[in-house]
């Protein structure tokens, strides 16, 4: 159980966001790293062919390539945390394919070895992009190769070679899109499985309520939120009276039906932003944000009436209610107050409700608040 939560408490880190950021960081580092290596190879090629065409312009263009690639590699940790990281990476990949065509055209046209670099954007797009973006990357490489062919006034490359080039690029593009489709479908399936596993891990299988761990995590979050915004927060601890006698008299199967029925009733009466949890064998908790304890008691009374008429065996409930004290906003204090109120009810003969903390005691003729059950 955690300690004091203050308005400056550190927010819980979303593991899904961390995984996505790490993925894009690796993806960008690989992409820009390969880009830099290939740029160095082009610079070496230019150094070995000083008499080729447009060498001055090409040195400047490829030098700019190198500067941008190095800058993006250094900025990758920051870029990978942005929400537009996918768009940035896709745009860079398409522009890189077009730039390769421009450099090849300035070099020796279709005879330039630089043209072979067009296969890299196609391969890279299959690793992380959607099928649509992978298709756009493939079209950009084909367009870049077409530009080189159209601007080459002295084609020394055989006609068959040009056809093969386009055929291989087109085939690589199709494979890239197919790989992206398969990867996307697999990721979607894995995400559904992960969400289902997470839901099952967070939910009690018998009652459909949140498990102890999830309830206490949410309790910490709601206390921090209430402190930050000055909102009210109520906690209910609900205990099934003499539940052992129910099991001994009717059997454990009927006892399970009783617990499942109570859990269903609690969830039916709770609002969409309330949280119902099973905290122990026959103990439940209800966390009610933005709620005064007196309003929580109105909820309890309605719920207890429904439990009395919906279960197959006679069962009563003891309920302890506590309200968050903003002067001591701790999980321990809120839980202790609700637990103390619960034991007050049990000491008075069970089958009742008691409040401890801000908002207690309530008048006997308290007005029932209006409630909107969760849809």
Q: Are residues 144 and 238 in the same domain?
A: no
Q: Are residues 176 and 77 in the same domain?
A: yes
| Residue range(s) defining the domain that contains residue 38 | 15-200
Number of neighbouring beta carbons within 10 Å of residue 164? 12
Domain count, the chain: 2
Return d(Cα 275, Cα 296) in angstroms, integer.
13
Q: Are residues 151 and 227 in the same domain?
A: no
57 located within any domain? yes
1 located within any domain? no
233 located within any domain? yes
- Residue 318: pLDDT band by 50, 70, 90 thresholds? very high
Return d(Cα 329, Cα 305) in angstroms, integer.
32
Q: Are residues 83 and 62 in the same domain?
A: yes
Q: Are residues 260 and 326 in the same domain?
A: yes
pTM, to two decimals: 0.60
Q: What is the number of alpha carbons within 13 Å of residue 299 lying toward its C-beta?
A: 31
145 located within any domain? yes
Q: Are residues 132 and 168 in the same domain?
A: yes
Asked if the model's pLDDT at residue 139 lies above 80, the reply is yes
Q: What is the CATH number of the domain that holds 293?
A: 3.30.70.270
Q: Are residues 25 and 152 in the same domain?
A: yes
Return d(Cα 54, Cα 40) in angstroms, integer.
18
373 located within any domain? no
Q: Are residues 259 and 167 in the same domain?
A: no
Residues in the chain: 375
For residues 61-94, one letter each, b for 16 or more C-beta atoms within 10 angstroms of the residue's C-beta and e for the rest, the string is: bbeebbebbeebbeebeebbeeeebbeebbebbb
Q: Sheet containing 233-240: give its strands across.
A: 275-278, 283-289, 233-240, 317-323, 352-356
Would you state the pLDDT for residue 309?
77
Q: Any residues with CB less than 8 A from the CB of 56 and at least 6 apart, and which?
A: none
83 located within any domain? yes
Q: Are residues 53 and 193 in the same domain?
A: yes
- Residue 1: pLDDT band by 50, 70, 90 thresholds? very low
Q: Are residues 55 and 159 in the same domain?
A: yes
63 located within any domain? yes
Instruction: Report percent pLDDT > 70 for the chain.
Output: 89
- Residue 58: pLDDT band by 50, 70, 90 thresholds? very high
């Amino acid at each position: 159980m955690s300690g004091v939560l203050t308005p400056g408490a550190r927010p819980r880190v979303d593991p899904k966001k961390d995984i996505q950021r790490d993925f894009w960081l690796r993806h960008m580092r690989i992409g820009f790293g390969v880009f830099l290596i290939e740029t160095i190879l082009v610079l070496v090629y230019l150094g070995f062919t000083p008499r080729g065409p447009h060498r001055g312009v090409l040195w400047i263009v490829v030098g700019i390539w190198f500067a941008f690639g190095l800058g993006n590699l250094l900025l990758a940790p920051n870029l990978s945390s942005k929400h537009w990281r996918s768009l940035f990476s896709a745009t860079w990949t398409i522009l890189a394919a077009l730039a390769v065509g421009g450099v090849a055209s300035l070099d020796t046209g279709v005879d330039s070895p630089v043209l072979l670099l067009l296969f890299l954007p196609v391969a890279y797009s299959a690793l992380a992009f959607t099928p649509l973006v992978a298709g756009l990357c493939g079209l950009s490489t084909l367009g870049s190769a077409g530009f080189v062919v159209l601007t080459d006034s002295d084609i020394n490359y055989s006609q068959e070679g040009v056809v093969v080039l386009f055929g291989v690029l087109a085939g690589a593009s199709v494979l890239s899109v197919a790989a992206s489709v398969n990867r996307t479908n697999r990721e979607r399936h894995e995400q559904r499985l992960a969400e289902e596993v997470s839901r099952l891990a967070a939910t009690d299988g018998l009652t459909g309520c949140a498990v102890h761990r999830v309830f206490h995590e949410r309790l910490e979050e709601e206390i921090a939120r209430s402190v930050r915004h000055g909102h009210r927060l109520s906690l209910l601890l609900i205990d099934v009276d003499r539940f052992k006698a129910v099991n001994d008299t009717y059997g454990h199967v009927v006892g399970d039906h009783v617990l499942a029925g109570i859990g269903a009733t609690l969830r039916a009466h709770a609002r969409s932003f309330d949280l119902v949890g099973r905290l122990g064998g026959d103990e439940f908790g209800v966390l009610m944000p933005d709620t005064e304890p007196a309003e929580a008691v109105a909820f309890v009374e309605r719920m207890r009436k429904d439990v009395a008429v919906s279960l197959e065996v006679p069962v009563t409930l003891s309920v302890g209610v506590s309200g968050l004290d903003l002067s001591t906003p701790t999980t321990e204090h809120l839980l202790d107050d609700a637990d103390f109120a619960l034991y007050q009810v049990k000491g008075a003969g069970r089958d009742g409700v008691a409040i401890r903390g801000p908002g207690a005691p309530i008048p006997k003729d308290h007005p029932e608040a209006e409630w909107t059950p969760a849809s």
